[in-house]
Structure formats: C-alpha cells, structure tokens
Amino acid sequence: MKASTSMSDFSRQNLINLPNVLTYLRIAIIPLILFFLAPPISGRSYNFAFLLFVLASITDYLDGILARRHNLVTSVGKLLDPLADKLLTSAVLIMLIPSGKVQAWLVFLIIGREITITGLRSIAASQGLILYASRTGKNKLISQTVGLLFLLLYIPKIEFLLDFIGIFSLWISVVLGYWSAIAYFVYFYKEVTRQEQSAQ
C-alpha cells in the first residue's frame, strides 16, 4: 500500500493527541522498569517491574483503540507505537539475562527478528510501501507480552511454574514472529515484482 505523509501529520495537535501521549508514557516507563531490574534484584523489585510493565501494556492496548475509534491515527503514531513496543520488550528481555530467567541466545533470536523486520519496513517505505502488522505479528506481540508478564511476576512458591509459562510463551512468540517475518518478505517481494512489471 502506498504511503503518503504531509507536514500536517506532524502538527502540534497530532503530536500531542491522546493516543500519542499514551505512547510517550509507555516509552517513559521503560527507564523505571530498567531501574527495578538492575542487579542486585529482589522479589519486590521484580513485582514493581511487573506492575510497570502491566501499565505500559495497558497504554499499548488503549492507544490503538482510541486512535481507531476517534480517527486519531497519525504518521507519528504509526512510527512511535511499534517503536515503543520494541524498546519495551527488548529492554525487559535484556535485563532478564543476568538473572538467568532468559537465555541470551533466545533474546538474540527475538531482537534479531525485530531489527530485521524494521529494516525491511524501512526499505519498503523507500519504495512507497507500508508493511502493516499482520494478525500473526500481533499474536506474536501478545505472546511476548504474556511471557514477560509471567517472567516478571515473583511469587516464591510457584516461581518455577511462572518462569516455565513465561519461557513457553516466548517460544510461541519466536515461532509466530519468524512465521510472520517470512510472510512480510514474501509480500514485499511480490509487491516489488508487481511494480516492476507495471513499469515495463
């Protein structure tokens, strides 16, 4: 789909509409989560980080609903919303490595996929194409969010179960993430091929 952006998309009114403010809030929460996950970390710190992550996830849910219901979808929001999601999940994943809750290579698989798709989206945008999030991609984000919530929640008597569910959900997100990544590459290839054929 062709992308069209005008300077009005970056007007003060669009920059500070409610959905975008919620996105800014989600980004602002990230340093607080990092603070609580910085070693040495206690069970109470995990639970503070868990509550902040819940708040950030709620803002992610609300900004999309508000933007669509009140026709407040902007180019700024389209850029910042997925960026905020990636910053949030990447920050938490990296901070969980020292504790051993998440293996570094699993974090690499997750973040590497995100960097690759971000690069593909940039290339597509240069060709006038927007790669919208697919249903599989959205389910990937949901699985990631659920996984991180379980990994952050600290309840001593069931910690093993919480961590197991968390890692299992992250693996689901990896499968969905790479499945959707293949779909994005196939779509991009088909669109570029179609454009080349149309130009001939």
Would you say 66 and 72 are in contact if contact means Cβ atoms under 8 Å apart? Answer: yes
Distance, in Å, from the CA atom of 166 to the CA atom of 145, rounded to the nearest integer, reads: 9
Residue-range domains of the chain with CATH: 7-199 (1.20.120.1760)
What pLDDT, on the 0 to 100 scale, is given for residue 9?
Answer: 52
Residues whose CB falls within 8 Å of the CB of residue 111, separated by 6 or more in sequence, listed in order: 90, 93, 94
Residues whose CB falls within 8 Å of the CB of residue 187, separated by 6 or more in sequence, listed in order: 131
DSSP 19: H
Q: Reduced to 3 states, what is the DSSP secondary structure of residue 131? A: coil
Amino acid in position 189 = Y
2 DSSP β-pair partners: 129
Whole-model pTM? Answer: 0.83
DSSP 38: S
HSE-CB at 65 with a 13 A cutoff on CA atoms is 6
Residues whose CB falls within 8 Å of the CB of residue 143, separated by 6 or more in sequence, listed in order: 169, 170, 172, 173, 176
pLDDT in tens, 100-130: 999 999 999 999 999 999 889 888 877 777 7
| Gyration radius of the chain over CA positions | 18
> What is the separation of C-alpha 94 from the centre of its chain, rounded to a whole number of angstroms?
14
What pLDDT, on the 0 to 100 scale, is given for residue 5?
Answer: 47
Backbone angles phi, psi at 156, to 5 degrees: -50, -45
Exposed, middle or buried: residue 36 (CB in 10 Å: 0-12, 13-18, 19+)? buried
**Residues of the chain under the 50 pLDDT cut:** 1-7, 10
CA quadruple 84, 86, 92, 94: dihedral, nearest 10: -140
What pLDDT, on the 0 to 100 scale, is given for residue 193?
Answer: 85
Would you say 35 and 46 are in contact if contact means Cβ atoms under 8 Å apart? Answer: no
Backbone angles phi, psi at 68, to 5 degrees: -75, -45
